[in-house]
Structure 1
Amino acid sequence: MKKNLPEHYFSRLCRAITEFDMIAAGDKILIGLSGGKDSTFLTYALSILRQRSAKPFEIAALTIDPLFTDDFDPKPISDFCADLDVPFYTQKTDIAGIIKNNDGKDPCFTCAFFRRGTINNFAVENGFNKVAYAHHHDDAVETFLMGLLYSGQIKTFMPTTYLDRKNLTVIRPLLYFREYELKETPKIHGFTPIPSPCPLNGLTKRQEAKDMIASLEKSNPEIYPHLAAAMRQSPTSELWPAELTREELRVKHLQFWNKSK
C-alpha cells in the first residue's frame, strides 16, 4: 500500500506543529502508541512528516500493556511500525493491579498517571527529548468542560508542555483534528485500530462530557465552537479576581472599617 497523507490532513498537522513550535531539527520523539485510531494515525502522520520535513528528526513508538487482560498481543502494532520504519518498543505496567490495590478509586487518574510515568521514564532512559501524544481537538474541549464542571477550574492541557523535572517536552500534533475525522483515518493507513482494553471504556467522566456536548448541540449547534473559543486567551475575557484568603479578607475588612470612622 502506497504511503501518503491527503494534503488537507497534512496541512492540519503542520499547522499545529508550526504554531506551537512542536518539532525542531535533531529531535528524538517517542510516540505513545496504544494501537487505537488516534495514536496509530499520529504514528503514520509523523512518519510521513519525517520523510517530507526539511528538519531532520527521529521517531519511535512505545506501547504500554496495562495488564487489563492476559492476552495482549503487540505483534499487529509492531508490524505496523515496522512497515513505517518506526522503531517499536513495548513495556508492561501493572496498572490493573494498582487500581485494584487502590480499591478502584480514581481509576482514570491512576491509569493516566502511571501511563505517563512509564512513557516519560522510558523516554529519559533511552535518550528521547520529546514525547508525542495523540490528543485531538475534542479531547481538549472535553477536558476544558470537565475542569469547569468537576473541579471548578478553567483550564485544559496545553499543545506543548515542558516537564522540567524530566527535561522532556510533551507535544500534541493532532490538536487541529476533530475526532470524527480521525475515525476515517484507517482508510488512509490501512491499520485496523485495536479496541481499548479499559474495563471502564465508555463509562468515564470524559464520556459524560462528550455526551453532554452532543446533547447540547442538538438545540444549539454553536455549543462546541463556543467552548473551543473559550479555551483561548482573549482580551474580552471577563473573570472575577482570585478568591481572597482569610488573612487577606481580614486585612481588607480592617482597612475598610478604619477608614469608615
Structure 2
Amino acid sequence: MISCDKCKRPAVTYIRHANLHLCAKHFIEYFERKVKYAIKKFNMIESGDRIAIALSGGKDSVTLTYVLHKFLSKRRDVELFAITVDEGIEGYRPPTVKIARKITSELGIEHIIVSFKDYFGMTLDEMVKLGDKKPCTYCGVFRKYLLNKTAREMGATKLATGHNLDDEVQTILLNFLQADIERLARLIPQRVQEGLIMRIKPFREVYERDVVVYGLLHNLPMDMNECPYSYFPVRAMVRDFIYNFEEKYPGRKYSIMRSFETLIPCLKQMFPQIKLNRCERCGEPTSKRICQACVLLEELREKKNLSQ
C-alpha cells in the first residue's frame, strides 16, 4: 500500500505533476487551496456578491456547488443560488436535473430551473432535428442566453461555472489553432458590461481528474455520462493531444495556462473589450444589432413553419 507523502496514511491519489501521493485529508486540503488561490488571484468573489452557480448536475458543477457552499455558507456578505438549464436532451438531462435538485436541497441552496421548451418553445432535441446547425451551436448560444438572463433577473453579480483546468486549456489551444485570437482575448473579461453578468471559474487551476476525486471523497451525487451531442471532432482531437502530452510530460496543462496568462496584457491591448449593445428584439446584451439567440430562433421558427 502506498503511503501519503505528508503523513504516511494510505494514499488515495497521486498528483503526477507534483510527484505527490496524498491521503484523503491532505488531498482535500491541496484541492481547496488550489481553488482558493484561483478565487483570490482573479478577485472572483467580493463582499456584497450574489453568486449564481451554473448547475447542470454533472460532476464539475455539483462539486463546484459543494465547494462554494463550504467556503461561503457562513459569510453574511455573500449569497449563493443555483440555476439549472434543462435543454431537453432525452435520456441525458433528466437524471442530472434530479441530481441538481438533490444537491441544492441537501445544502439548502435556492434553486431555479429554466428550460429551452418553456422559453424558446422547443427542446434541443427538436432544434437539432429541425435546424441545420451543429447541436453545440444551438446549445451553447441558448444556454448562455438563459443563464445570463436568469442570473441577472435574480439579482446576481457573478455567474460561477464549473470549467476546470482541462476545459480552459482545451479552449485556449483550440482558439489558437483556429486563429481566433479575438475570442482568446475574451476568455478573461476586462470589465463589467451592463446586462452581462461577470463569469467566474473557481476550478480553473484544478485538473478534471482531481474534481472527480474530490467529489467521490465527499460522496457527492455525480453523473459521469457525456452529452450524446458532444462529438465536436476538432475539440476531441485537441483534448486527446493535450491528454497524451500531459501523460508524457506532467504539468504541461499548467504551462499552457501560464503562457496564456502571460499574453493577457498583449491580448487586451490588441483586442480591447467592445461596448455591448442591446438586442433590438429581446434587449439582451450583444455586439450586434440582433443577438445570436434571436437570429437562431428566427431560423428555427421559419423552418418549423415550413415543415407544418
Paired residues for 1:39-78 under 5 Å = 39-51=61-73, 53=75, 56-69=77-90, 72-73=94-95, 74-78=97-101
> Aligned residue for 1:84?
107
Query: Cα deviation per residue 1:79-119 (whole Å; 9 max; x = unaligned)?
Result: 2111111111211113333333322x232232112111101
What code does the residue aligned with 2:142 have?
F
Taking every aligned residue pair, what percent have the same amino acid on both sides?
25
Does the CA-based 8 Å contact 2:44-2:200 persist in structure 1? Answer: yes
> Aligned residue for 2:201?
172
Q: 1:8 to 1:151 in 2, by over 3 A?
A: same
> Aligned residue for 1:133?
161
Give the CA deviation at 1:222. 6.3
Instruction: Give the aligned length.
Output: 232
Confirm or deny that 1:28 pairs with 2:50: yes
> Aligned residue for 2:14?
none
> Aligned residue for 2:304?
none
TM-score using structure 1 length: 0.77
Deviates more, 1:44-53 or 1:175-184: 44-53
Confirm or deny that 1:228 pairs with 2:250: no
3-state SS of paired residue (1:72): helix
List runs of 5+ in structure 2 lacking aligned partners. 1-26, 117-122, 272-308
> Aligned residue for 1:213?
242
Partner Cα separation in structure 2 for residue 47 and residue 35 of structure 1: 15
Structure of larger gyration radius: 1
List runs of 5+ in structure 1 lacking aligned partners. 243-261
Q: 1:121 to 1:225 in 2, by over 3 A?
A: closer
Give the CA deviation at 1:197. 6.2
Q: 1:162 to 1:108 in 2, by over 3 A?
A: farther
Question: Which structure is higher in helix share?
Answer: 2
Query: Cα deviation per residue 1:142-198 (whole Å; 9 max; x = unaligned)?
Result: 111101112453726635565514142111111111111112122233123124462
Partner Cα separation in structure 1 for residue 102 and residue 232 of structure 2: 31
Partner Cα separation in structure 2 for residue 198 and residue 109 of structure 1: 14
Give the CA deviation at 1:221. 4.8
Partner Cα separation in structure 2 for residue 188 and residue 14 of structure 1: 19
TM-score using structure 2 length: 0.66
3-state SS of paired residue (1:183): helix
